[in-house]
Chains A and B, each alone.
Chain A
Amino acid sequence: AQSVSQHNHHVILSEAASLELGCNYSYGGTVNLFWYVQYPGQHLQLLLKYFSGDPLVKGIKGFEAEFIKSKFSFNLRKPSVQWSDTAEYFCAVLGTGANNLFFGTGTRLTVIP
């Protein structure tokens, strides 16, 4: 069975601070990994995804994530956050052969100007 854990429930940062959001997954096979963002009042949008190849994935708006297979992790990072990054961030996993995404519980990021 698939599962995804996001240990940070709410992160508060000042502008220009660096960000790292944790994501760990459980699945006994090859996975596709995703980070989605949900801005206030808006729908989920894809930030970045990992299918194969280079484990360091760069996404939109300066975000990146690194897939560490040995740690079953796919942490999201951004070197310098902006107020506009305030949103809810969801990590998701799609196991090979599975049909649907499994989501973590989400991390609320609040960036203080």
Chain B
Amino acid sequence: GAVVSQHPSWVICKSGTSVKIECRSLDFQATTMFWYRQFPKQSLMLMATSNEGSKATYEQGVEKDKFLINHASLTLSTLTVTSAHPEDSSFYICSARDIGAEAFFGQGTRLTVV
């Protein structure tokens, strides 16, 4: 299947700093990418849908000024957690869909804010 690469896989940052997470589709072009957040023992919660060349669509309750999403090309989307706080610590997962509706997932990024 197609490959989605997410980087970094683990990051620790100080409270108040910003962290950027990259999501790349390696062997297909993804016009749409998705960003999820996964809390311990819970399901994936969709944060936003990222469309190449346009503004991301955020789910209700997700602060768009805090979670900045950029989808500048067909193979790269980035999520920047701005002014991170300990409550932002979580597992963030990106996903990209091909034309067959199957979604491929990155390996996830575990963010710890101290």
Within 8 A of A (CB), among B79-114: 93, 95, 101-108
- Give chain A residues whose Cβ lies under 8 Å from the Cβ of B15: none
Please, what's the 1-or-0 string for A2-25, where 1 marks a CB less than 8 Å from any CB in chain B?
000000010000000000000000
Question: What total of chain A residues lie within 8 Å of the partner, measured CB to CB?
Answer: 22
Q: What's the Cα separation between A43 and B41 when bound, in Å? A: 15
- In the complex, the answer to whether A100 meets B34 with C-beta atoms within 8 Å is yes
Given contacts A90-B43, A99-B32, A100-B46, whether A43 and B107 have CB atoms under 8 Å apart is: yes
Would you give the 0/1 interface string for B1-28, flagging 1 where the beta carbon is closer than 8 Å to chain A? 1000010000000000000000000000
Please report B residues at the A interface, Cβ cutoff 8 Å.
Answer: 1, 6, 32, 34, 41-44, 46, 49, 93, 95, 101-108
For this complex, 22 residue pairs linking A to B, each with C-beta atoms less than 8 Å apart, are A9-B41, A34-B103, A36-B105, A43-B6, A43-B106, A43-B107, A43-B108, A44-B95, A46-B102, A49-B102, A90-B43, A90-B44, A99-B32, A99-B49, A100-B49, A101-B46, A101-B103, A103-B43, A103-B44, A105-B42, A106-B42, A106-B43
